[in-house]
């Protein structure tokens, strides 16, 4: 696109436009960078002139080089961020799987919150531990208890329904649930879901972990919404601040999956999923008595 005062040049990569360079108000080639007296003749030197085909050629070259440099910088930054997250994840594994630093569910949640902040600038985190007929939601507001970590009642709030809130939606869908402005969502339930501040600039991520073909734990966390669109070049995406979680970033998804594996391993040592998901004991005598009563009632009706 070219006019007398504006020149826009698309930078193509095959059939795709990867960038657009724009220049405006081409100045006369006779202008001088040397400060001169403000006279009519000196002002004429700064008069705009028309863009031409040669300018298009130069802008195409400049644009191509600029895009290549930007892509290289973006790739370097993505690589640096990946290494940083790898180091954080290794440290998280050491702390979460340690019997010294992670003795209780409370310790686990404190570590999880700290590392999610380092990894993705997460605001708050919560963890729902599933049972056969309900869920235990870790409640960090409860006072510390001297009971063992295998007694979840000291650290959790028990909810009998597995369909409540965003946690219930994730359990049902068996996949990541992303909720913007969660406080206004009809599915949000303060009893089971992570606490939110009620602002529209906050996203709640709800991620279920599947074991024994069932959802055994659900991780929830909040992140602030970036004020601008992410910068994307090819397969690389760099969000503002390079810190918030991006669900379309495979590296981010892999980090969360590894973190969930650590959580599962730790919870499994305290409270095995095979025990939590086992059907409750059934009173066989009550069943036999009920069967006898039904037969007796049916016999009376036939008479």
Confidence grade of residue 199 (pLDDT, cut at 50, 70, 90):
confident
Which of 65-74, 88-97, 114-123, 238-247 is least confident? 238-247
In this prediction, residues 281-302 reach a mean pLDDT of: 55
203 pLDDT more than 50: yes
177 pLDDT more than 90: yes
DSSP 233: E
Residue 165 region by backbone torsions, left for phi larger than 0, else alpha for psi between -120 and 50, else beta:
left
140 pLDDT more than 60: no
Candidates 135, 155, 156; CA nearest to 145 is: 155
Backbone angles phi, psi at 38, to 5 degrees: -80, 90
Confidence grade of residue 301 (pLDDT, cut at 50, 70, 90):
low
Q: Would you state the structure tokens that stand for residue 218, as one six-digit string? A: 């659900």
Q: Would you state the structure tokens that stand for residue 27, as one six-digit string? A: 């100045």
Which of 13-17, 38-42, 79-83, 111-115 is least confident? 38-42
pLDDT tens column, 29-40: 654 444 444 555
Express as a percent the part of the chain with pLDDT over 70: 73
pTM (2 d.p.): 0.66
pLDDT tens column, 217-256: 999 999 887 544 455 555 555 544 456 888 888 888 999 9
Candidates 107, 111, 122; CA nearest to 89 is: 111
Which of 98-112, 119-133, 149-163, 269-283 is least confident? 149-163
187 pLDDT more than 60: yes
Alpha helices, DSSP H only, in the chain? 40-44, 53-96, 105-120, 165-173, 250-270, 273-276, 284-302
Give the CA radius of gyration of the chain: 31
90 pLDDT more than 70: yes
DSSP 28: P
In this prediction, residues 161-176 reach a mean pLDDT of: 93
194 pLDDT more than 70: yes
Higher pLDDT, 226 or 18: 18
Q: Would you state the structure tokens that stand for residue 291, as one six-digit string? A: 């069967």
Confidence grade of residue 282 (pLDDT, cut at 50, 70, 90):
low
In sequence order, the 6+-apart residues with CB closer than 8 A to the CB of 109 are 125, 126, 127, 138, 140, 155
Backbone angles phi, psi at 187, to 5 degrees: -85, -15
22 vs 62: CA distance, rounded Å:
11
Task: Specify the pLDDT at position 54.
Answer: 85
Task: Specify the pLDDT at position 48.
Answer: 58
Q: In terms of C-beta distances under 8 Å and separation of at least 24 residues, what long-range contacts does 59-66 make, across chains too? A: 59/7, 59/9, 59/21, 59/23, 60/9, 60/11, 62/21, 63/9, 63/11, 63/19, 63/21, 64/11, 66/11, 66/19, 66/21
Higher pLDDT, 249 or 167: 167
Higher pLDDT, 302 or 250: 250
Reported residue count of the chain is 303
121 pLDDT more than 80: yes
167 vs 128: CA distance, rounded Å:
8
């Amino acid at each position: 696109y070219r006019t007398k005062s504006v020149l826009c040049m698309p930078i193509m990569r095959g059939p795709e436009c990867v960038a657009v360079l724009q220049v405006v108000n081409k100045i006369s080639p006779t202008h001088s960078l040397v400060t001169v007296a403000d006279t009519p003749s000196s002002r004429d030197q700064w008069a705009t002139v028309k863009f031409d085909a040669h300018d298009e050629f130069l802008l195409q070259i400049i644009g191509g080089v600029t895009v290549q440099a930007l892509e290289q910088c973006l790739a370097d930054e993505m690589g640096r961020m990946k290494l940083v997250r790898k180091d954080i994840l290794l440290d998280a594994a050491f702390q979460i799987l340690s019997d010294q630093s992670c003795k209780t569910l409370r310790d686990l949640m404190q570590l999880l919150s700290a590392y999610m902040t380092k990894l993705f600038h997460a605001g708050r985190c919560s963890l729902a531990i599933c049972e056969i007929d309900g869920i235990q939601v870790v409640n960090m507001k409860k006072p510390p208890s001297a009971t063992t970590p295998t007694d979840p009642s000291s650290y959790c709030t028990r909810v009998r329904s597995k369909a409540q809130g965003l946690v219930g939606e994730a359990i049902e869908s068996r996949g990541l649930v992303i909720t913007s402005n969660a406080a206004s969502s009809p599915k949000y339930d303060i009893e089971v879901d992570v606490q939110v501040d009620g602002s529209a600039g906050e996203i709640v991520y709800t991620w279920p972990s599947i074991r024994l073909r069932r959802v055994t734990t659900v991780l929830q966390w909040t992140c602030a919404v970036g004020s601008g669109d992410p910068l994307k070049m090819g397969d690389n995406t760099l969000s503002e601040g390079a810190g918030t979680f991006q669900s379309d970033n495979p590296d981010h998804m892999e980090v969360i999956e590894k973190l969930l594996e650590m959580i599962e391993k730790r919870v499994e040592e305290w409270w095995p999923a095979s025990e939590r998901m086992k059907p409750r004991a059934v009173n066989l005598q009550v069943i036999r008595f009920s069967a006898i009563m039904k037969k007796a009632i049916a016999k009376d009706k036939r008479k």
